[in-house]
């Protein structure tokens, strides 16, 4: 079964390749969505895919790439506003 999840990642997650790390993990797991920097220093991540794959990526994001420090990820369920799930993973 597929699920969507939106997370707000706080810590030292901008300027340390966190979004690229997220994309690499998501693509490898067959998960679509996006990662984008927010003006308050956090990164917004949306993951969409098979539940186990989403869990796998979400767990990897707790560590992040070298140089990152993840203090917290606040997750919530996510559904596409237009009913159409993302078809790839993009960095915004």
15: which residues sit within 8 A by CB, 6+ positions away? none
Catalytic residue among 5, 25, 37, 42: 37
The reply to whether 37 belongs to the active site is yes
Catalytic residue among 19, 23, 25, 42: 19
Q: Are 65 and 21 in contact (CB under 8 A)?
A: yes
pTM, entire model: 0.95
- List the chain domain ranges: 2-91
CA separation, residue 3 to residues 19, 36, 48, 90 (Å): 20, 20, 6, 18
pLDDT in tens, 17-51: 999 999 999 999 999 999 999 999 999 999 999 99
Collect all residues with Cβ–Cβ distance below 8 Å to 84 and sequence separation of at least 6. Answer: none
Under CATH, which architecture does the 2-91 domain have? 2-Layer Sandwich (3.30)
- Beta bridge partners, 87, equal none
Active site residue 42: no
């Amino acid at each position: 079964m597929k699920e969507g999840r939106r997370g707000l990642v706080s810590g030292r997650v901008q300027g340390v390749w966190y979004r690229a790390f997220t994309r690499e993990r998501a693509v490898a797991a067959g998960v679509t969505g996006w990662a984008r920097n927010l003006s308050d220093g956090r990164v917004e991540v949306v993951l969409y895919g098979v539940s186990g794959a989403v869990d796998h990526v979400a767990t990897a994001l707790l560590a992040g790439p070298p140089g990152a420090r993840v203090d917290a990820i606040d997750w919530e369920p996510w559904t596409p506003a237009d009913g159409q799930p993302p078809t790839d993973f993009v960095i915004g």
